[in-house]
Amino acid sequence: MLTQRLMQQGASLVELMISMLLGAISITALGTLVAHGIGLNSQLIAIFRFDAEVDAVMAMVMTDLRRAGYRQLSVYEPNTRGIDQGQVMVPDITLSSYSSELANSCISFAYDRNKNGRLDSDFGNEYLGYRLHNNSIEIRMSGLACSAPKWQDITDPKTLSIETLTFTKQRSASSALFSIKLTVHLQANSIAYPGISRQLTRTVLVKNHER
């Protein structure tokens, strides 16, 4: 009789349901944890993308500004390629802004990118610049003025919103020449996570001096 009772013992349906419920709760908890991990990963990736974009655009602007005024001089044929010696090494950096944007949020300059001794204004225009417009940083096209439309944006308005972009120019005399320091202040907000923002202030010494 005792043997028979033992063989008959097992989990009842209620016990089974309870154990399944506990299992389901555990799986749900684990699932929530995984979902949280995926969400956190997405957030981190969005922040990395935001940082990468801000850093890349800042690096691009700063290296470009450092070259302002550069012109290649050929020692062998100085007068045959239209080189105006009087204008050599003049950065000619101008600050202004596009209509209703912040003051000094547009910078224009030029340098001899292809090292042909001239500042080209046709294909591969060498009159360059950057400005703030519609919460994006734009790059100057075809030597257009700061007040002109149709510059090309170089930041993704769906990833970041540029709140501030200002340029400051410092001129300090050293003998007959003036050395130029340019300070760029940038503040950007993430679109996906509006609470995340970055402020950068970088200063660059322009390699060419002004007269």
Which residues make up the interface to another protein (CB under 8 A)? Answer: 5, 8-13, 16, 20, 38, 42, 45-46, 48-49, 52-53, 55-56, 59-60, 63-64, 67, 113, 139, 152-156, 158-159, 192
CB of 151 to another protein, least distance (A): 10
Which one-letter DSSP state was computed for residue 160? E
Residue 157, SS3?
Answer: coil
CB of 90 to another protein, least distance (A): 20
For another protein, the closer of residues 64 and 210 by Cβ is 64
Compute the distance between CA of residue 32 and CA of residue 150 in angstroms, rounded to an integer: 48
Give the number of other CB atoms < 10 A from CB of residue 71. Answer: 21
Give the number of other CB atoms < 10 A from CB of residue 65. Answer: 25
Reported in sequence order, the residue ranges of the chain that DSSP labels E, i.e. its strands, are: 94-96, 106-110, 127-133, 136-139, 152-153, 160-174, 177-190, 197-205
Q: Please list, in sequence order, all residues whose beta carbon lies within 8 angstroms of the beta carbon of residue 111, skipping any fewer than 6 positions away.
A: 67, 68, 69, 70, 71, 119, 126, 128
For another protein, the closer of residues 101 and 112 by Cβ is 112
CA within 13 Å, CB half, 199: 3
For another protein, the closer of residues 113 and 169 by Cβ is 113
For another protein, the closer of residues 29 and 56 by Cβ is 56
CB of 136 to another protein, least distance (A): 10
CB of 173 to another protein, least distance (A): 30
CB of 172 to another protein, least distance (A): 27
- Whether 83 contacts 143, CB under 8 Å: no
For another protein, the closer of residues 51 and 163 by Cβ is 51
CB of 159 to another protein, least distance (A): 8
For another protein, the closer of residues 48 and 211 by Cβ is 48
